[in-house]
């Protein structure tokens, strides 16, 4: 991951990760000099906020090293007798775009993380037989081993799932049915609106005994905490695709569209 940062100048890194750095800087200033923000206040907020940002960013980006193996698995799953993966060059777009990489994908990741956290908390509530309270969700100011490993599990699952979906989308990889000559997108938007809606709804429902103002405050702070790491994650993901595109396509065993066409246009439809 360090190599991906070194391949860009400082100016390019700041430009591509601009919103994350601006929000991180604003968080540091507010939580250090003005008021309690993102669950920290005072001089301790300087190192705690930075450490949290680095920890979450590493947690999300390190699983990218497993992406080639995941592509091998996806190739084995989707490549069958009459169905296999193809690459459409016109749909290939691993470039970084403000709307995609600064808005859509970060909130996609935040929503999915909240959705998994809600499910995990529901399971914990069922297992322990006790009601989940606000204290269980918010940072408690002390190390908690269960919270630590739960965060790792959620981060790794979110990273791997989004990496797979984003890779197929950005490289223009589609699922082709030889019999019907139909091309399908693999989850282009299936992981967008649903995680955002159900993730935020699930987290908000856990604060049902609090006022709307407090709920809005806590949810906003969670978003502020998670947004910078998810921006860094999807920007580094785009860079990783550019540097390893041929390897990933080889692992996916994606066939070029030109080989399949034989002079005929392929039908297309989206999932």
pLDDT at 136 (0 to 100): 58
Residue 57 has pLDDT above 90, yes or no: yes
More confident residue, 224 or 42: 224
pLDDT digits (tens, 9 = 90+) for 118-152: 777 777 666 666 665 555 555 555 566 777 777 88
Lowest mean pLDDT among 68-72, 117-121, 206-210, 243-247: 206-210
**pTM metric for this prediction:** 0.83
CB 110 within 8 A of CB 23: no
pLDDT over 70, % of the chain: 72
For the chain, the three-class secondary structure string (H helix, E strand, C coil) is CHHHHHCCCHHHHHHHCHHHHHHHHHHHHHHHHHCCECCECCCHHHHHHHHHHHHHHHHHHHHHHHHHHHHHHHHHHHCCCCEEEEECHHHCCCCCCHHHHHHHHHHHHHHHHHHHHHHHHHHHHHHHCCCCCHHHHCCCCCCCHHHHHHHHHHHHHHHHHHHHHHHHHHCCEEEEECCCCEEEECCCCCCCHHHHHHHHHHHHHCCCCCCHHHHHHHHHHHHHHHHHHHHHHHHHHHHHHHHHHHHHHHHHCCEEHHHHHCCCCCEEEEC
């Amino acid at each position: 991951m360090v190599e991906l940062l070194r391949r860009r100048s400082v100016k390019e890194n700041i430009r591509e990760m601009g919103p994350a750095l601006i929000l991180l800087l604003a968080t540091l200033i507010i939580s250090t000099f003005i008021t309690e923000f993102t669950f920290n206040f005072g001089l301790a907020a300087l190192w705690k906020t930075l450490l949290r940002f680095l920890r979450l960013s590493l947690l999300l980006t390190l699983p990218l090293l497993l992406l080639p193996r995941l592509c091998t698995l996806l190739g084995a799953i989707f490549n069958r007798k009459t169905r296999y993966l193809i690459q459409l060059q016109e749909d290939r777009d691993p470039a970084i775009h403000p709307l995609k990489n600064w808005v859509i994908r970060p909130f996609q990741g935040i929503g999915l993380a909240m959705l998994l956290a809600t499910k995990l908390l529901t399971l914990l509530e069922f297992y322990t037989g006790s009601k989940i309270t606000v204290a269980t969700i918010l940072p408690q100011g002390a190390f908690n081993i269960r919270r630590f490993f739960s965060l790792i599990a959620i981060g790794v699952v979110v990273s791997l799932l989004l990496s797979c979906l984003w890779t197929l989308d950005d490289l223009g990889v589609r699922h082709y049915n030889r019999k019907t000559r139909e091309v399908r997108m693999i989850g282009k938007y299936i992981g967008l609106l649903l995680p955002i809606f159900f993730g935020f709804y699930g987290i908000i429902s856990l604060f049902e005994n609090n006022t709307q103002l407090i709920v809005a405050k806590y949810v906003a702070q969670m978003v502020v905490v998670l947004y910078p790491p998810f921006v860094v994650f999807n920007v580094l993901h785009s860079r990783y695709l550019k540097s390893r595109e041929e390897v990933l396509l080889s692992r996916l065993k994606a066939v070029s569209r030109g080989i399949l066409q034989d002079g005929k246009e392929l039908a297309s439809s989206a999932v």
